[in-house]
Amino acid sequence: MGILKIARMGHPALLKPALPVQDFGTPGLIQLINDMIETLADAGGVGLAAPQVHVARRLVILHVPAERAGEGEEPEPLSIMINPEIVPVGDEKVLGWEACLSVPGMIGAVPRFREIIYRWADPAGEQMEREASGFHARVVQHECDHLDGMLYPMRMTDMSQFGFAEEINRNRELLNSIREGDGEEEFEEDGEE
Ligand code: NI
């Protein structure tokens, strides 16, 4: 068990597409999962993808703690998702604030599908499927993007909504009034991913 080093934006490990996991239940995979759980708990995020800890494999862990779930949304216990796939339900996208352990100190507003179906294998290799919406759907999309070398700033459509979390949170009211003036769509709460 150990805490792993998290790659920061600019490191090529974050840009490399990850390969599918083929062997389940191996000591190496179990060790990696345990280390990622420990690393995420230490860093205090909601999700972590293997490429963030320099392992180019299609594995993510994520949870939605009660304090991060949006209004009317359920918290989600920690999921260990291997070889996940996402299918959007409809084409509606919503803007919401995101943060990333690989982009420390920053947040940005990112458009994501409001609702998705996602499928993955658990650590024993059993196939799972779920529907998600709101912040839960956002976290899944953010984490799975890491497996394709995508970081959330690369998904942003308006870089004026990217900045230091400290500044944006301090000026949230002002920024919201600017956005309302632009007729922007609704904003969801942010979360560290
Ligand atoms: Ni991230």
Q: What are the E-state strand segments in 65-165?
A: 76-88, 93-98, 106-113, 115-121, 127-133, 162-164
CA of 64 to the centre of ligand 1 (A): 14
This prediction's pTM? 0.90
CA of 127 to the centre of ligand 1 (A): 24
CA of 152 to the centre of ligand 1 (A): 7
Please report which confidence band the pLDDT of residue 183 belongs to, taking 50, 70 and 90 as the band edges. Answer: very low
Q: Are 129 and 118 in contact (CB under 8 A)?
A: yes
CA of 9 to the centre of ligand 1 (A): 10
Among candidate residues 188, 77, 73, 193, the one with its CA nearest the CA of residue 145 = 193
| Residue 86 β-bridge partners | 118
pLDDT, tens digit, for every residue of 103-117?
999 999 999 999 999
Among candidate residues 128, 144, 134, 136, the one with its CA nearest the CA of residue 60 = 144
Catalytic residue among 98, 143, 188, 193: 143
Q: What would you measure as the largest C-alpha separation in the chain, in angstroms?
A: 55
> Please, what is the end-to-end C-alpha distance for the chain in angstroms?
22
User: What's the pLDDT at 184?
Assistant: 43
d(C-alpha 24, C-alpha 20), whole Å: 11
Please report which confidence band the pLDDT of residue 174 belongs to, taking 50, 70 and 90 as the band edges. Answer: confident
Is 143 assigned a catalytic role?
yes
Please report which confidence band the pLDDT of residue 178 belongs to, taking 50, 70 and 90 as the band edges. Answer: low
Query: Residues, the chain, total?
Result: 193
pLDDT, tens digit, for every residue of 46-68?
999 999 999 999 999 999 998 88
